Structures are given as C-alpha cells and as structure tokens.
C-alpha cells in the first residue's frame, strides 16, 4: 500500500475507491471519524457558521475526493454564501 494511502487511513479518511467486479467504481464506507466531521459541518451550516462548516468539508474532500456527502454539504454551504457558481461545481 502506498505511503500516502497509509497516511490518509491513519487520519480517518476512507480507503481509496477501487474498481468493482463489474468495472464500476466501489467507494468504501465512511469512517466514524469522518461521519462525525460531516455531522459537525452540517450542524455549523444550520447555525449559519458557514466559514467553519466550509473549513471542515474542505478538509474532508482534501483527504477523500470521492466523499459525496462532503461535496453535497460543501455545495449547500456555497449556496448559502451566495456563491451559486461554486455550489454548482460542487454538485458535479
């Protein structure tokens, strides 16, 4: 296993996506640590603490670019900030 992947796994990031038997991509489950960060980011967003929420989801997607829940929260945060272009990009 590459050193970068080992480092990410130690930090609580999900394992990298792998090609499934049918040729599609299988995404590993979200770790409890990442799930807790997602819940925190969503709570911050709901309270209007958008910069803080964005900081958390940015950290998550930096560690795991395949984390769909983090991208959805990131898009919603950008939308609430009035940045519809970034919100749309996060939805891609």
In order along the chain (92 residues), what is the average pLDDT of each group of 10 residues? Answer: 44 51 69 96 98 97 93 97 95 87
Measured between alpha carbons, how far is 37 from 67 in angstroms, rounded to an integer?
12
Domains identified in the chain and CATH numbers: 3-90 (1.25.40.10)
Cut 0.75: pTM above it: no
Distance CA 79, CA 3 (A): 36
| pLDDT value, residue 92 | 85
């Amino acid at each position: 296993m590459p050193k970068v992947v080992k480092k990410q796994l130690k930090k609580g990031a999900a394992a990298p996506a792998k090609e499934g038997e049918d040729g599609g991509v299988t995404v590993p489950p979200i770790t409890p640590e990442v799930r807790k960060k997602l819940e925190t980011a969503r709570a911050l967003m709901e309270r209007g603490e958008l910069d803080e929420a964005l900081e958390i989801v940015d950290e998550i997607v930096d560690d795991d670019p395949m984390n769909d829940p983090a991208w959805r929260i990131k898009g919603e945060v950008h939308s609430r900030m009035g940045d519809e272009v970034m919100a749309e990009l996060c939805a891609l």
